[in-house]
Structure 1
């Protein structure tokens, strides 16, 4: 059980080099120090935080990217540290690479390029060799073919919409699709009721879901039997979604025509008809700028107002900030917690101007704006009283 009153100067530790555009978000009362042991917040990309100790003052972590497997989220949740990611900031970059490799693989472009590089005859003979050998790389156009999109989040929805514009038929599957995504998704995307329906009807399948116990190895021997022979599978989400032993057999037998993955390893590189991409999905200057700016804005908003957006461990919550004294309380999601907090405020004769509470699993987050001017001398006593409530994880007074 801890508490913290934000200072006028906030310290930010950066664990990776980030686009300078992100730092432009912050005002002069933010200081950046890569060596600080006890920062208010941390900005990072892929730095491994599992073995580090980052001090008791830490209030927030923002990952400039979508995946947070490099962050011990559960540990920080127990300490009341909010962990942000930046979903959608790199969506266009990933979408472009998905569609690029989809078309290139269908036209056998990668194999053709590698073959052409092996032609060592004199310059005047190379054109003849090209003309004689190009037949082995005859491919297929994607127009009129069917693309299956598993996961219609920020990336999947963009892929689906643009594939329609390329005159493809698109079937989508996402039982957890958000309202925001539904608004942005074309009505021409066909809805698959089951994954089996999608698997059985698609020439290309691209997957955009997180790695969980449920999705791990979702592409396996049983699933490959359902798919159309020669299907191309594109994986720009996580390598663990695909059972490598099973897909190796499926590739050899022609059940899977090509496997395009952004997550190569020793096993994958030794397989036939694999197109290994060196994890370039989000590797564009624009994507890095978008992620850095989004991460920085989330950190700044949280430190200054307590509002939370795109957190992987705290509930999404927002309350317009009017400059009044604000209590933000991260606590166990148990009955009568809000009542106990408001009771303490009444004991100090403090009137509530506004309040919001949201829960997420075992935890909840409450923000309370106080109508009255709160004398600084009262704050320590108020903090102490609130922290005596069983189940309080961390209290901040802004």
Structure 2
């Protein structure tokens, strides 16, 4: 069986080789593909093909994908967390240094000079760009995931005092964070104590406009805020007010909107935080590996709408089900299997929100019986998508 994959945007070709020879990259020519691999393509309002089973985002953010609609249609959405973490880390550290010394403003001013006495003009005017050093300053990191943890560790190595806030930090990430990074349990500690604040959290109802008038009121004069996460984390009107009063000395963001452009004390980058050759390759490789594993085995890794599911396939057939998370589904599944005198070798069922994912490994080599079972499942109104996976010999 050959799987059809449609790619959007410019996906690194080396990364796509991770798919292997059982996948056909059809690009825009794909009529009814099994999977999408995308970067920044906006899928909101897109009608998903009937055959679509998976979407892999070559990056961490998935705001460009209608998650609820995909889930309701039984489409598993993946991302590649951590694949561009080093690139974003370096962008944030560069932003801290740029804001501390105003290198961008200094360069722009220097390029306005002319005449034989440019060196004399430089010496006379350079005092306006006397900045500060970051050693000894306090950096507050909101969100200690793959990106935030790296920033916290490297900022410490640059001589900064680092505060970290993340009530949901994983055990694995916690082990990777330097013991010199001080964890705080209250976000207010970040706002009140930091000279620089960088934010690395997803956008949701609890984080939208996290930086608002109440947050700015707690900050020191001249605080620098760096946002390489999501533009909507900051209330722009409250930001402008905080800049006008001197509370915010500099705002650096990777998310440009018209109201932010050509404003004093605001630096806007064109969404390039994760745009390095290395990051794009890492994201493409991770996306390719994820799609291949899912399509060939049904296993799920790094999905944003379904739980991680790992189970070695050792039986002739596996059936995977995406079903509504309603009572007695596992019992109904088992009854359907036994009605065809098929033995269940292993069953794994986990839910996430309103939907669940089931991997059903069957000790049965008769494909006609497996097909008949799948047809029973497809007739169930609570089962959204059914797949038959044959073990690769």
Q: TM class, shorter-chain normalised?
A: over 0.9
Q: 1:197 aligns with which of 189, 210, 233?
A: 189
Residue aligning to 2:203: 211
Aligned residue in 2 for 1:286:
278
Which position in structure 1 is the counterpart of 2:306? 314
How far off its partner does 1:199 sit?
0.6
**Which residue number corresponds to residue 248 of structure 1?**
240
1:380–1:371 CA distance, 2 compared to 1 (3 A): closer
SS at match of 1:24: helix
Equivalent position of 1:325 in the other structure? 317
3-state SS of 1:94 partner: helix
Please show how residues 163-178 of structure 1 align to structure 2 within 5 Å.
163-178=155-170
Instruction: Say which of 225, 236, 239 aligns to 2:231.
Output: 239
TM-score (norm 1): 0.95
Displacement of 1:321 after TM fit? 2.3
Alignment counterpart, residue 151 of structure 1, candidates 118, 129, 143: 143
Contact 1:37 1:54 (C-alpha < 8 Å) held by counterparts: no
Say if 2:315 and 2:364, in contact at 8 Å, map to a contact too: no
2:9 is aligned, of 8, 11, 16, to: 16
2:174, 2:134 → 1: CA distance? 25
1:58 aligns with 2:52: yes
Q: State the shift of 1:271 in Å.
A: 2.1
How far the C-alpha of 1:77 sits from its partner, in A, is 0.7
Preserved contact between residue 364 and residue 370 of structure 2 (Cα < 8 Å):
no
Match in the other structure for 1:38: 32
Question: 2:18 matched to 1:25?
Answer: yes
Counterpart CA distance in 2 for 1:44 and 1:105 is 33
Alpha-carbon separation, structure 2, partners of 1:107 and 1:152: 26
1:178-230 alpha-carbon deviations (Å, 9 max, x no partner): 12211211222111111111110011000001111221111112211101111
Give the number of equivalent residue pairs: 388
Q: What residue is the counterpart of 2:369 in the other structure?
A: 378
Mapped contact 2:163–2:190 kept (Cα < 8 A): yes
SS at match of 2:18: coil
Distance across 1 between alignment mates of 2:384 and 2:138: 50
Kindly indicate whether structure 1 or structure 2 has the higher relative contact order, using CA contacts under 8 Å at least 6 residues apart: 1
Q: Aligned match of 2:101 in 107, 130, 134? A: 107
Q: Displacement, 1:152?
A: 0.7
Deviation sequence 1:262-293 (CA, Å, 0-9, x none): 11221111421111112110110001001111
Deviations 1:354-373 (CA, angstroms, capped at 9, x unpaired):
22111101111111111232
Rounded Cα–Cα distance in structure 1 between residues aligned with 2:119 and 2:74: 66
Deviation at 1:386, TM superposition (A): 2.2
- Give the ranges of 4+ consecutive aligned residues of structure 1 lying more than 3 Å apart after TM superposition: none
Q: 1 CA distance for matches of 2:176 and 2:96?
A: 22
Partners of 1:340 and 1:389 within 8 A in 2: no
CA distance in 1: counterparts of 2:338 and 2:315, whole angstroms: 21
User: Partners in 2 of 1:18 and 1:386 — Cα distance?
Assistant: 36
CA displacement 1:247-273 (0-9 Å, x = unmatched): 112112211111111112211114211
Partners of 2:373 and 2:349 in 1: how far apart?
A: 19
Aligned to 1:397: 388
8 A Cα contact 1:13 1:43, kept in partner = yes
Q: In the aligned structure 1, how far is the partner of 2:346 from the partner of 2:195?
A: 54
Q: Is the 8 A contact 1:248 1:271 kept in 2?
A: no
